[in-house]
Amino acid sequence: MTNFKKNVYTFGNKSAEGDASMKNLLGGKGANLCEMNLIGVPVPPGFTITTEMCKVYIKEGRETVLKMIKTEVEEAIVHIENQMGSQFANSSNPCLVSVRSGSRASMPGMMDTILNLGLNDEAVEGLIQKTANARFVWDSYRRFVQMYGSVVLGVKAFSKEDQDPFEEIIDQLKEEKGVKLDNEFTADDLKEMVVRFKKVVKKVTNKDFPSDPWEQLWGAITSVFNSWMNERAIYYRELNNIPEEWGTAVNIQAMVFGNMGINSATGVAFTRDASTGEDLFNGEYLINAQGEDVVAGIRTPQQITLEGSKRWAKLAAVSEEDRVCNFPSLEETMPEIFKELMEIETKLEVHYKDMQDIEFTIQDGKLWMLQTRSGKRTGAAMVKMAVDMYEENLLDEKTAILRVEPNKLDELLHPIFDKKALKTAKVLAQGLPASPGAATGQIVFFAEDAEEWTKKGHKIILVRMETSPEDLKGMVVAEGILTARGGMTSHAAVVARGMGKCCVSGADSLKIDYKTRTVEINGLTLKEGDWISLNGSTGEVYQGKIATTEAVLNEDFDKLMALADKHARLEVRTNADTPQDAQIARNFGAKGIGLCRTEHMFFEDIKIKAMREMILADDEAGRRTALAKLLPMQRDDLEGIFKAMEGLPVTVRLLDPPLHEFVPHTEESQKQMAEEMGVSIKAVREKIESLHEFNPMLGHRGCRLGNTYPEISEMQTRAIIEAAINLKKEGIKTYPEIMIPLTGTLTEMEMQKQIVIATAEKIFTERNDRIEYLIGSMIEVPRAALMADKIAESAEFFSFGTNDLTQMTFGYSRDDTGKFLPFYLKKGILKQDPFQVLDQEGVGKLIHLATQKGLSSRPNLKIGICGEHGGEPSSVEFCHSVGMHYVSCSPFRVPIARLAAAQAAIKESLAIEKKRTRREDSKKESIKNEHEKTLEFASV
């Protein structure tokens, strides 16, 4: 059994044993309750049992933990009693308490809460005597029995079809007494309710409802610890990456009552608008109610401010007369309290320098704060608040930039589902959130059909087992892409992100039958033409149409980006294969292209024909004839891209995928190919069979293609150099960088380099002109990373292809992770999907090594990353830390990477500053000590 110095921290009456910096130990709620006391905000006295005790509870069980906290809890209860002038477990002057959870990160509604604890039949009488308010006392008692009964004693509905037994009793009583709302029950009605509630408890648990307040308290504490491991909390933690090790604290506080009558109330409020970011204090309250009533929707909550109340009435079509009579704002009903609340909300926001989500109770005309925490907010609100707070001088520049979660910018860049529409939508399946955005369309299973349907004006969702480059055209016209297989770096995911198109991949509950053109999802069969909707940010698949709203980038976004760019050291480029994508990325602030996958250009009609002709050719001469047809097309495409990126570097990668990806695989399309090529179907089939590989991703691809068929690299180099020379003639500056994929040895790299140089020199002579260009290597094979000093003797730049590097370092096929990765993540075998978030420990070690080795043999080596990780914030931070020069990511991730790059630089500078201060402090300390010693010596 571990011994801790202190397991319980008290607070109350403007003093506290903890403070806001102790979130890890006291949880967010506990730390902030202490802090509120320290800054003079009225908070009911109480104490917090540390998160360490939750860990002990989970590891060693109830008895151990109760033994460890017993004395401290008893003392802390006395601390509450002294401040409240009442006594816990005393019938004539009872002190009641609330018991609430509170972890390091806020997990709203996921864990348990018990209010009004300490009541029993005797205490009820005592409290009635004391308050002369029988209705209030019986109301508190029935709430306690219901909450304790369901949370601690487990009295719940049998199945999801059954009603909660307590709610059933309330409904019965309403009918019997002829009342509509809870607050219309009389004291006698509530007394009757308690009797019936207790009977249910006895029936279900075979025991009487516990009447000893101490028994109630220990039961509630262990129940809150237990709730850390309930299904809801576990799911929430998974979604939000909250480690299980953190545990929850337990907060025990003197009860203050919002249900004491018409001078009492309870409410929740936000210091700014959490959905738009507007600096607008807003919230809801209820008179004569307790905390959970406001969120439970039993009665319509009223607005706190008059302005909010008027806005609400307009939306709810409530007349001004009705509003004033039945739904007045707190500003109108309790103007003095409202003023005090406004002062406190301002004080809290200024103190925490962030938008606060607060809970309060008004007990008989006195305001008490029960909670403050940083409020959850939308991406748009996050940006607006950071920029506004910076302009208001509430935040300095660095803090304002650090305040925005880079990934939340996604929400601002893609169309989004209408929040109201989502509430009633039916979730059909869950896949991977492969490319963010919201898409609604009719199901189509084949790329060709996708084109036809869209030509006829339909909006479609392309539903595939998985996609291949052959499906590209269908993907281009689709609103969104849904696949049953494939991970975050599967073809569908990579291409969709590149296009900024919504994609859900790896939704393995999809059973697609291409023959019948149907898909079965959890027992429901949908056919071609049926409507579905995808949320690419969450991976959810919905039935039917859901309304979307377009994202509009605003001034705040631009301001934030401008601030970010001032700090970032890493440049952000984009992965783009078309002038359109290049332009989008440039508008988002990309400083060049870090990866142009040339193979994506070969899939359009005429190009794919020439490509197939080259593949079918029996010899070099045949291949050269076909490549000659491809050359002008490739050159035109590149001119378009270079133009879009005028004045900025463009990294063009030579052909990478295995050739079999360019040939058709169905009988019908093979026949068509044979006809077009003027050869027999047999010849086509034989060629395709000859291209078969057992492990194509480890096979004849990358520079292995260029080295076995040098004429391909020659043609591509010619296209690049000629495009650049042509543009030079038009006065357009280009900075081509030719990139060799999948190199593993210096010789592989050197062979390709010689082809490129020879071809370029030939063109320079032919055209009597020259341009500057670089030749570099992708580092995506582990051997290349290990031999980076050698490769850098030849390569002028490195670009880490972390998709392949992750694949080959882990030995996980990037297209087949769906079978085991979800299990690995659930079981904690892996903490994150390494194809999404760079594995800094392993793959990162190779990157670090390769960077150092590369720079050791070529100090001016340019280094970047172009795998999918280039747009993932923690990976960007890593790239900054190893000293890369740029990251390259899909166009829609460019702003995310820009912000992440700025944050990485700021964090680094703050850490350096901190270290310097620490060093200076310790220097001062040692000088002081020396000085004191000298004085001591002198005095002797």
> Min. distance of Cβ 701 from Mg ion in angstroms?
9
Following CA atoms 742, 841, 875, 23 in sequence, which dihedral angle do they give, to the nearest 10 degrees? 170
- Contact assessment for residue 563 and residue 391, using Cβ atoms and an 8 Å cutoff: no
Q: Is 891 in the site for ligand PEP (CB under 6 A)?
A: no
Which of ligand PEP, Mg ion, none has residue 556 at its interface (CB below 5 to 8 Å by kind)? Answer: none
Partner from ligand PEP, Mg ion, none binding residue 369, C-beta < 5-8 Å depending on class? none
Q: Among 619, 653, 624, 850, which Cα is nearest to 737's?
A: 653
What residues from 473 to 502 belong to the interface with ligand PEP (CB under 6 A)? Answer: 494
Alpha-carbon span 98 to 674, nearest angstrom = 78
Interface segment toward ligand PEP; rule CB under 6 A; list 91-99, 179-187, 530-538, 802-810: 802-810
In angstroms, give the least distance from the CB of 656 to ligand PEP.
6
Task: Give CA–CA dist 608/612, Å, rounded.
Answer: 6
The entry of ligand PEP, Mg ion, none that residue 359 binds, CB within 5 to 8 Å by partner kind: none
DSSP-derived secondary structure for 516-543: TTEEEETTEEEETT-EEEEETTTTEEEE
| Shortest distance (Å) from residue 735 CB to ligand PEP | 20
* 381 contact choice in Mg ion, ligand PEP, none (CB below 5 to 8 Å, kind-dependent): none
- Which of the stretches 31-39, 57-65, 272-280, 796-804 binds ligand PEP when contact is defined by CB under 6 A? 796-804
In the complex with ligand PEP, which residue's Cβ is closer, 470 or 656?
656
Q: What are the angstrom distances between the C-alpha of 794 and each of 715, 736, 777, 861?
A: 21, 17, 9, 10
Binder of ligand PEP out of 50, 86, 803, 890 (CB under 6 A): 803
Nearest-approach distance from CB 742 to Mg ion, in angstroms: 7
Compare residues 541 and 654 and give the one whose CB is closer to ligand PEP: 654
If one asks whether residue 595 binds ligand PEP (CB under 6 A), the answer comes out as yes
* Binding residues for Mg ion (CB under 5 A): 780, 801, 804
Compose the 770-789 pattern: x for residues touching ligand PEP by CB under 6 A, - for all others: ----------x---------
- Residues 350 and 462: their CA atoms lie apart, in Å, by 50
CB of 775 to ligand PEP, least distance (A): 18
User: Which segments within 598-661 are labelled E, that is strand?
Assistant: 649-653
Cβ atoms of residues 435 and 483 within 8 Å? no
CA–CA dist 127, 24 (Å, integer): 37
Beta bridge partners of 44: none
Give φ, ψ of 629 to 5 degrees: -70, -35
Catalytic residues, which ones? 491, 866
CA 541 – CA 532 distance, rounded (Å): 7
| 802 counts as binding ligand PEP under rule CB under 6 A | yes
Distance CA 780, CA 798 (A): 10
Distance of CA 40 to the CA centre of its chain: 35
**Least separation in angstroms between CB 867 and ligand PEP:** 3
Identify what 864 binds: Mg ion, ligand PEP, none; CB under 5 to 8 Å per kind. none
291 near ligand PEP, judged by CB under 6 A: no
CB of 308 to Mg ion, least distance (A): 53
Q: Pick out residues in 851-870 that bind ligand PEP (CB under 6 A).
A: 866-867
DSSP 102: E
CA distance 152 to 99: 11
Closest to ligand PEP by CB, 291 or 854: 854
- Closest residue by beta carbon to Mg ion: 804
573 backbone dihedrals φ, ψ, rounded to 5°? -110, 180
Interface with ligand PEP includes 875 (CB under 6 A)?
Answer: no
597 touches, from Mg ion, ligand PEP, none (C-beta below 5 to 8 Å by class): ligand PEP
Per-residue string for binding with ligand PEP, 216-255, x by CB under 6 A? Answer: ----------------------------------------
Instruction: Specify which residues 649 forms β-bridges with.
Output: 735
Query: Max alpha carbon distance in the chain (Å)?
Result: 109
Q: Is the dihedral of CA 461, 535, 232, 368 positive or negative?
A: negative
Interatomic CA distance for residues 202 and 216, integer angstroms: 16
User: Which two tokens mark 772?
Assistant: 């500057």
Nearer to ligand PEP, 100 or 704 (CB): 704
> Measured between alpha carbons, how far is residue 110 from residues 26, 228, 231, 715, 922 in Å?
17, 8, 9, 60, 45
Instruction: Please report how the helices 620-644 and 579-587 are oriented relative to each other, as an axis angle in degrees rounded to 10.
Output: 30
For ligand PEP, which is the closer residue by CB, 302 or 803? 803
- Comparing CB distances to ligand PEP, the nearer of 305 and 809 is 809
E-only strand ranges, 53-171: 97-103, 113-117
| Nearer to ligand PEP (CB atom), residue 354 or residue 656 | 656
Which of positions 597-616 make contact with ligand PEP (CB under 6 A)?
597
Tell me which amino acid residue 73 is. V
Q: Which does 833 bind (CB under 5 to 8 A by kind): ligand PEP, Mg ion, none?
A: none
Residue 495 Cβ, how far from ligand PEP at the closest point, in Å?
Answer: 10
Candidates 79-87, 367-375, 718-726, 798-806: pick the segment binding ligand PEP (CB under 6 A): 798-806
Comparing CB distances to ligand PEP, the nearer of 612 and 701 is 701
Q: Among ligand PEP, Mg ion, none, what binds residue 867 when CB lies within 5 to 8 Å by partner kind?
A: ligand PEP
Position 801 contacts ligand PEP (CB under 6 A): yes
- Check residue 847 for interaction with ligand PEP (CB under 6 A): no
Judged by beta carbon distances under 5 to 8 A according to partner kind, the member of Mg ion, ligand PEP, none in contact with residue 464 is none
Phi and psi angles of residue 316, each rounded to the nearest 5 degrees, phi first = -85, 5
DSSP bridge pairs for 735: 649
User: How far apart are the C-alpha atoms of 578 and 278, rounded to whole Å?
Assistant: 38
d(CA 368, CA 43): 5
CB of 778 to Mg ion, least distance (A): 6
Helices 605-616, 681-690: axis angle to 10 degrees equals 80
Closest to ligand PEP by CB, 613 or 780: 780
CB of 604 to ligand PEP, least distance (A): 19
Instruction: Tell me which of Mg ion, ligand PEP, none is bound by residue 595, counting a contact when its beta carbon lies within the kind-specific cut-off of 5 to 8 angstroms.
Output: ligand PEP
At closest approach, how far in Å is the CB of 870 from ligand PEP?
8
SS (H, E, C) 898-914: HHHHHHHHHHHHHHHHH
Q: Residues 670 to 729: which contact ligand PEP by CB under 6 A? A: none
Q: Which one among 656, 714, 722, 737 touches ligand PEP, defined by CB under 6 A?
A: 656
Query: Which of residues 267 and 657 has its CB atom nearest to ligand PEP in the complex?
Result: 657
Residue 846 touching ligand PEP (CB under 6 A): no
- Nearer to ligand PEP by Cβ, of 282 and 888: the residue is 888
Site membership for ligand PEP, residue 804 (CB under 6 A): yes
Tell me how far, at minimum, the Cβ of 589 lies from ligand PEP, in Å.
Answer: 21
CB 114 within 8 A of CB 36: no
- Of the CA atoms within 13 Å of residue 595, those in its CB half-sphere come to 33
The end-to-end CA distance of the chain, in Å, is: 50
Nearest CA to 259 out of 285, 284, 287, 283 is that of 287
* Binding segment (CB under 6 A) for ligand PEP, from list 199-207, 545-553, 579-587, 795-803: 795-803
Of the pair 544, 699, the CB lying nearest ligand PEP is at: 699
3-state secondary structure 713-746: HHHHHHHHHHHHHHHHHCCCCCEEEEEECCCCCH
Q: How far is the CB of 544 from ligand PEP (least distance, A)?
A: 34
Q: Which is nearer to ligand PEP, 401 or 585 (CB)?
A: 585
Separation between Cα atoms, residue 711 and residue 638, nearest integer Å: 18
Query: Interface with ligand PEP by CB under 6 A: which residues?
Result: 494, 595, 597, 656, 780, 801-804, 866-867
